[in-house]
Amino acid sequence: MSWNTFGRVFRMTTWGESHGPALGVVVDGCPPGLALDEAAIQPFLDARRPGQNKFTTQRNEPDQVRVLSGVFEGRTTGTPISLMIENTDQRSKDYSEIAQAYRPGHADYAYDAKYGLRDYRGGGRSSARETAARVAAGAVARLVIPEVTILAYVAEIGGDAINPGNFDAAEISNNPFWCPDAAAAARWEALVDDARKSGSSLGAVVECVATGVPAGWGAPIYAKLDADLASAMMGINAVKGVEIGDGFGAARLTGEQNADPMRAGDNGPSFEANHAGGIAGGISTGQPVVCRVPFKPTSSILTPVLSITRDGAETEVRTKGRHDPCVGIRGTPVVEAMMALVLADHKLLHRAQVGN
Amino acid sequence: MSWNTFGRVFRMTTWGESHGPALGVVVDGCPPGLALDEAAIQPFLDARRPGQNKFTTQRNEPDQVRVLSGVFEGRTTGTPISLMIENTDQRSKDYSEIAQAYRPGHADYAYDAKYGLRDYRGGGRSSARETAARVAAGAVARLVIPEVTILAYVAEIGGDAINPGNFDAAEISNNPFWCPDAAAAARWEALVDDARKSGSSLGAVVECVATGVPAGWGAPIYAKLDADLASAMMGINAVKGVEIGDGFGAARLTGEQNADPMRAGDNGPSFEANHAGGIAGGISTGQPVVCRVPFKPTSSILTPVLSITRDGAETEVRTKGRHDPCVGIRGTPVVEAMMALVLADHKLLHRAQVGN
Amino acid sequence: MSWNTFGRVFRMTTWGESHGPALGVVVDGCPPGLALDEAAIQPFLDARRPGQNKFTTQRNEPDQVRVLSGVFEGRTTGTPISLMIENTDQRSKDYSEIAQAYRPGHADYAYDAKYGLRDYRGGGRSSARETAARVAAGAVARLVIPEVTILAYVAEIGGDAINPGNFDAAEISNNPFWCPDAAAAARWEALVDDARKSGSSLGAVVECVATGVPAGWGAPIYAKLDADLASAMMGINAVKGVEIGDGFGAARLTGEQNADPMRAGDNGPSFEANHAGGIAGGISTGQPVVCRVPFKPTSSILTPVLSITRDGAETEVRTKGRHDPCVGIRGTPVVEAMMALVLADHKLLHRAQVGN
Amino acid sequence: MSWNTFGRVFRMTTWGESHGPALGVVVDGCPPGLALDEAAIQPFLDARRPGQNKFTTQRNEPDQVRVLSGVFEGRTTGTPISLMIENTDQRSKDYSEIAQAYRPGHADYAYDAKYGLRDYRGGGRSSARETAARVAAGAVARLVIPEVTILAYVAEIGGDAINPGNFDAAEISNNPFWCPDAAAAARWEALVDDARKSGSSLGAVVECVATGVPAGWGAPIYAKLDADLASAMMGINAVKGVEIGDGFGAARLTGEQNADPMRAGDNGPSFEANHAGGIAGGISTGQPVVCRVPFKPTSSILTPVLSITRDGAETEVRTKGRHDPCVGIRGTPVVEAMMALVLADHKLLHRAQVGN
């Protein structure tokens, strides 16, 4: 099945292929009266945009968004918001090779196995270009949750992690890696550049923290806030896992070590730790909502890898085109967008049932 | 919002509280003509059932399932299948303490913050007792996917991992830990018993492997097979993360190390590795579908932990009742059930669109 | 596909067959804190209950509802509310005839064609007994919309319509027909009794009016309030049509005749007519929401009708069992329940998006 | 709430306002491998297109569709199909009057009451221009159900009905009214022209018949085929009712008159009548699926009608712009499209559960 809608009451439906004329998203269920225009969306797309430095793919896409519906005189009307981004740099290259051979680690074989045919130009629908649509929708979602601040950053590249002691939020946009640790950013420059030059690729871990989420968002049992975040993050291209709070680390703690004691506070409880990542029983607790997301190294590498053709013959595939040496970097704005989309949906779901 | 339905076309809706008269599940969308009776479900419930040995809670529930609808003359009819399990051992204890004080690390505070009231008897709806309903529904899901074999086991308790070299599937049901490594099982006996005696608790990691999944299941972009698994697993009580294939480990590999080369095989491609965990672009590849799930140590411990009352006063909470020293153990059949539910749904979704 | 869930955020999932051990409904998404117990539901079930007079089937079912979850100390908790009604009068008769021959006009053939098998005892899932579950859920829905008053009544039986000039709401519960016109009720007594004695059956038209619905409920474009009502009503057993406001009559008016002029009022506009039935553009206008629903005469009649057996041989079928001479009568409480369910869902949907 | 997605597995999401830059639809869940290009869609849009004769609005829109995604080398790929139609004739008129005063019978007041603001240019989202998107999606849906033939026609205008004895399918496209009765078409010419000249408007009844629907489509209990059709039709602009088969007429028949006897046939049963309109228990029977849909006369008339302004002051509104004297005429292709969308969805739902 094709299933291109995300969300329960605040919903987005995305469409478009890597090398089609355009891609886009329809945002439905947005509250009316919010100030919205292209300028409110564009900065988020610019953050995800390729070709901005040597550490990302050299495909050059302006990713200029157009608002086609749902906004009148600068305000959302409550009707569906259609956002479109035209593809401009679909380099006219020869796709005959990729048309025949499956790129290992990519979705080529899986799409063919499922649908019996595929748009092989740049990965078609399975391309990470689709995430531009999510980022655009995420910009709208942010307007729905002004009480929340979302911050994602890269915490690790190629196994080289930041030092939490060096964490400086202001540093994140100072380097091309969304890295909050200036020292790590300096190290990564060489690391990523080496991978780029050698046609290799590196994995990364992105962390995302949402502060200002009030206690009470989340829809147990099968739309728990953490379950929806897990789905949202795992669905991003190249993501292979999700952690909430201490995640896998919690499995190594005792109940005493993992405790989240509560104290009396002025506005609800004050918490002494946040092992749980701001979510208990699938419902937000008022603490920061914290998740961690690993991105695999892209399978697009210069080294030949064994594969097969559509006809079942063995072959080798190597990627000579434009690619990201570390897709996790450009995944960072996408993680933020998915966090915003999940939270906006849950804010509306909560007030549907409880009324505030 | 309350959201107690899981699945898109093969769906379950669960209901019930820990200390209410009963709990249950309605399974909808099940294909007709499948042989089903209580005996086909009961063994899975027995695997999850408490009180079977000293390593799990001493609450004694027979967890006897009744089929109330959807089956006629031993076959599913295509109409909703209602399964009910009566609660029998709701020990009549004094809940006045828990009614007033929030158990830290539990959902008590979050439910109160959300709904303004809560059923505090044994955690009410947030109790892991709800997972009995999932296990019952999972037994039905298995009938939908006879081509698939699902195997979950505990790979790690309290930071003590199995040795993959000792892996023996036959060993899994030979010990009370669902442990495939006899040596590890022996170590865990002391480990878990110590935790039990001291009123402490331990985390665990459960692995689940589904073999026989054909290439082509999964619904990109927003119902990817891995995204749906992530949601399914993260929604289990005490789970704080999910990995598909190499998961977080993949973030530390290079593209060359993470490659999944394909060779020509007799029935579709043969793969030389499975870093991707059997899923590419959200679609199954025909390889085993592999996920890993960390369970936190339960917050129900003897050691007093700081907390607050409903009125905002500070207090201490310690758990004197019957509890699991390692909830991950009994989570294992639940992980299997969720895997079955996701796969059954995707099999039906796939044939909706593609017709086979 | 089997699809037994109704509603978008306020949802019910029903289950159960006519002659199974029980039937029931899980109500999900209900706001917390509402006073609810069996006594709040039972009167609505009693109104629909069979065997109360000679004008309805003589099947004798107490239709006693049990609340199994979602309520604590007399209040809804926000978690799923499971309601169950046991079947008690499944008369042990010989079903071999109906097992083989399709009752014409019933769903027997269609279920067999779809599922390849069917529970033939009393129609199984296709029996109107399922509507008891809707009525129970409808009683919960009413608690969500205390601002709304819902009134359904029979406006026509066997082509004999009430005189609107005689309309007296107080009369509706004074006769066994839910008839607001005492003179019509007197005529119907003979009409329906004749049909009953001769083993024939009669159609009916039920009207339903909801007053107190504020302007603004409804979710354009594909969950319009009138579209959802149409789906809700058409899905009731034996219903073959729906009208909103003037319905088919509007197709015979000119634009001038069909106008709904607005005047200034103290609380929003005052309307001079209500041809539109309280809904414009799929959104409520603040006027009474009005719909009309025709029930066909039941196909269960004494006169033999040509049919075929499962094996394709021709045969004749006549119904000797207990049946309603006019199913529209007992459909009246069901129409009210569906109106309540749709309105409760839309109230919550509206405040999800707009916040009040 | 805004809810702009229709369908369960074959889904469309529409967007766009009457006077925005464009409108469109995203079709999701479409099977792969179907031949599709603009030329397969355009004829259906042309049938609905305004400005083609004096009996429809003089707004001149080419309604040229563009396929932006989901099709590769002339075949559907299984990924979302984005279709866009640019608005070209948004006449730059002065909207200050309609911005302030609510047009009675239109959705103006309801949208304002719901959302607190509205795009008043030509009705914005509530304009029937939205139905162009449905017609485009309906053209895709038809490709999914090649076994089905759908035929809609106007059966009545202004109370003047066709003579069923004159029914000639070939006549339908011979006149500007989609009228299958040449004599009626001749009468309607004067009737509609009079209404047009006098600035009045007329209602109409559209009938739609789908032949070739196999027995077994439909998803009881809450996605019955007739219930979904009711929702689909009632959601079309200006529609105030729906009938399946004999509809309201069935309420005036006895059980004997309404019987649908079955005889043995070569391929399944042969039916002697079709009072039920091809649907029993919410499932298709193999007979033609028949529905009737009344369109009200448009509220856009020259005669002044009392209304109020946004500020609550009384005023009069008359419509001087371009409008359809009988909106039911152009509703006919929309009825066909909605029938196709419902049937395509149910075909896929059926094979999801039953596998063929």
Residue C70 has a pLDDT of 98
Lowest-pLDDT choice from A115-129, B271-285, C312-326? C312-326
- Residue C90: pLDDT band (50, 70, 90) is low
Supply the pTM of this predicted model.
0.97
Alpha helices (H) in chain C, listed in sequence order: 38-48, 96-100, 108-115, 131-144, 182-197, 225-234, 327-354
pLDDT per residue over D93-144, tens digit each? 667 778 889 999 999 999 999 999 999 998 999 999 999 999 999 999 999 9
Tokens of A53: 């430095």
A239-253 b/e with 16+ CB inside 10 Å = b? Answer: bbbbbbbbbbbbbbb
DSSP3 helix / strand / coil % (chain B, rounded to 5) = 35, 25, 45
Residue A268 has a pLDDT of 82
Cα–Cα distance for residue pair D234/D227, rounded to 1 Å? 10
Cα–Cα distance for residue pair B44/B83, rounded to 1 Å? 13
Inter-chain contact D244–C241, Cβ cutoff 8 Å?
yes
Q: Are D290 and C132 in contact (CB under 8 A)?
A: no
pLDDT per residue over B215-224, tens digit each? 999 999 999 9
- Residue A54: pLDDT band (50, 70, 90) is confident
Tokens of C162: 């009430």
Residue D266 has a pLDDT of 84
Residue D268 has a pLDDT of 82
Residue A260 has a pLDDT of 93
- Residue C277: pLDDT band (50, 70, 90) is very high
Find the closest chain D residue to C243 by CA distance: D241
Inter-chain contact B240–A276, Cβ cutoff 8 Å?
yes
D273 pLDDT higher than 60: yes
Percentage of residues in chain C having pLDDT higher than 70: 97
Cα–Cα distance for residue pair B271/B31, rounded to 1 Å? 32
Which residues are within 8 A (CB) of A299 and not within 5 positions of it... i.e. 6 or more apart? A103, A104, A105, A106, A201, A305, A319, B255, B258, B259, B260
Q: Are D205 and D156 in contact (CB under 8 A)?
A: yes
**Can you tell me which residue has the tokens 């035929």?**
D151
- Residue C49: pLDDT band (50, 70, 90) is confident
D206 pLDDT higher than 90: yes
| CB-nearest partner of C5 from B13, B79, B116 | B13
Residue B92 has a pLDDT of 57
- Run of H or E residues at B142: helix B131-144
pLDDT per residue over D214-257, tens digit each? 999 999 999 999 999 999 999 999 999 999 999 999 999 999 99
D212 pLDDT higher than 80: yes
- Run of H or E residues at A190: helix A182-197
Q: Which residues from A are below 8 Å from B247, CB to CB?
A: 240-241, 294
Which residues are within 8 A (CB) of D16 and not within 5 positions of it... i.e. 6 or more apart? A68, A69, A80, A82, D22, D23, D24, D85, D87, D125, D129, D130, D133
D59 pLDDT higher than 80: no
DSSP string computed for C148-192: -EEEEEEEEETTEE--GGG--GGGGGGSTT--S-HHHHHHHHHHH
ipTM surpassing 0.85, yes or no? yes
Cα–Cα distance for residue pair D251/D242, rounded to 1 Å? 14
* Rounded average pLDDT over B35-61: 86
**Pick the residue with more confidence: C54 or D92?**
C54
Interface of B with C (CB under 8 A): 1-5, 9, 11, 13-17, 20-24, 26, 28-30, 32-33, 66, 68-70, 72, 75, 77-82, 114-119, 124-125
Residue B30 has a pLDDT of 98
Q: Are C31 and A349 in contact (CB under 8 A)?
A: no
Inter-chain contact D31–B349, Cβ cutoff 8 Å?
no
Cα–Cα distance for residue pair D281/C119, rounded to 1 Å? 14
Inter-chain contact C261–D305, Cβ cutoff 8 Å?
yes
- Give residue C134's region: left, alpha or beta (phi > 0; psi -120 to 50): alpha
Q: Which residues from B are below 8 Å from A298, CB to CB?
A: 255
Q: Are B345 and B228 in contact (CB under 8 A)?
A: yes
- Residue D53: pLDDT band (50, 70, 90) is confident
* Rounded average pLDDT over A306-332: 90
DSSP string computed for C255-275: TTTT---EE--SSS-EES--T
Half-sphere exposure of B87 (CA within 13 A, CB side): 25
| CB-nearest partner of B269 from A109, A116, A216 | A109
What does residue B121 show for φ and ψ, rounded to 5 degrees?
Answer: -70, 105
Cα Rg of chain A (Å, integer): 21
Percentage of residues in chain A having pLDDT higher than 90: 87
Interface test with D, best of A72, A90, A112, A114 (most D CBs within 10 A): A72
Q: Are B214 and B354 in contact (CB under 8 A)?
A: no
Inter-chain contact B241–A248, Cβ cutoff 8 Å?
yes
Task: Please give the span between the terminal C-alpha atoms of chain B, in angstroms, as a whole number.
Answer: 36
Find the closest chain D residue to A118 by CA distance: D77
Inter-chain contact D354–B31, Cβ cutoff 8 Å?
yes
Q: Tell me the pLDDT of chain A averaged across its residues.
A: 94
Percentage of residues in chain A having pLDDT higher than 70: 97
Percentage of residues in chain B having pLDDT higher than 70: 97
Residue C319 has a pLDDT of 81
Task: Compute the count of residue pairs across chains B and C with CB atoms less than 8 Å apart.
Answer: 145
pLDDT per residue over B291-321, tens digit each? 999 999 999 999 999 999 999 999 999 887 6
Interface test with A, best of B217, B248, B298, B303 (most A CBs within 10 A): B248
Interface of C with A (CB under 8 A): 9, 29-32, 78-79, 220, 348-349, 351-355
pLDDT per residue over A252-269, tens digit each? 999 999 999 999 988 889
C257 pLDDT higher than 80: yes
- Residue C76: pLDDT band (50, 70, 90) is very high
Inter-chain contact C29–B2, Cβ cutoff 8 Å?
yes
Inter-chain contact B354–D79, Cβ cutoff 8 Å?
no
Strand order across the beta sheet in which C81-86 lies: C5-6, C11-16, C22-28, C81-86, C65-67
Cα–Cα distance for residue pair D57/D38, rounded to 1 Å? 25
A306 pLDDT higher than 60: yes
* Rounded average pLDDT over D20-48: 96
Q: Are D20 and A66 in contact (CB under 8 A)?
A: no
Amino acid at A343: L
D90 pLDDT higher than 90: no
Residue B105 has a pLDDT of 92
Q: What's the gap in Å between the CA of B232 and the closest CA on chain C?
A: 19
Find the closest chain B residue to A234 by CA distance: B227
Q: Which residues from C are below 8 Å from D106, CB to CB?
A: 280-281
Q: Which residues from A are below 8 Å from B342, CB to CB?
A: none
C32-50 b/e with 16+ CB inside 10 Å = b? Answer: bebebeeebbbebbebbbb
Residue A285 has a pLDDT of 97
* Rounded average pLDDT over D51-66: 80
Q: Which residues from B are below 8 Å from A276, CB to CB?
A: 105, 240
**Pick the residue with more confidence: A140 or B59?**
A140
Task: Specify which residues D13 forms β-bridges with.
Answer: D5, D26
Inter-chain contact C296–D253, Cβ cutoff 8 Å?
yes
Q: Which residues from A are below 8 Å from B216, CB to CB?
A: 110, 113-114
Q: Tell me the pLDDT of chain C averaged across its residues.
A: 94
Inter-chain contact B353–D355, Cβ cutoff 8 Å?
no
Three-state secondary-structure class, residue C94: coil
Amino acid at A142: R
Interface test with B, best of A28, A228, A231, A349 (most B CBs within 10 A): A231
Interface test with C, best of D207, D254, D316, D349 (most C CBs within 10 A): D254
Candidates C92, C141, C314, C135; CA nearest to C236 is: C135
pLDDT per residue over A175-214, tens digit each? 999 999 999 999 999 999 999 999 999 999 999 999 999 9
Q: What's the gap in Å between the CA of B349 and the closest CA on chain D?
A: 6
Tokens of D320: 């001087």
Cα–Cα distance for residue pair A93/A121, rounded to 1 Å? 9
- Residue D91: pLDDT band (50, 70, 90) is low
Partners of chain C (3+ Cβ pairs below 8 A): A, B, D
Find the closest chain A residue to D67 by CA distance: A21
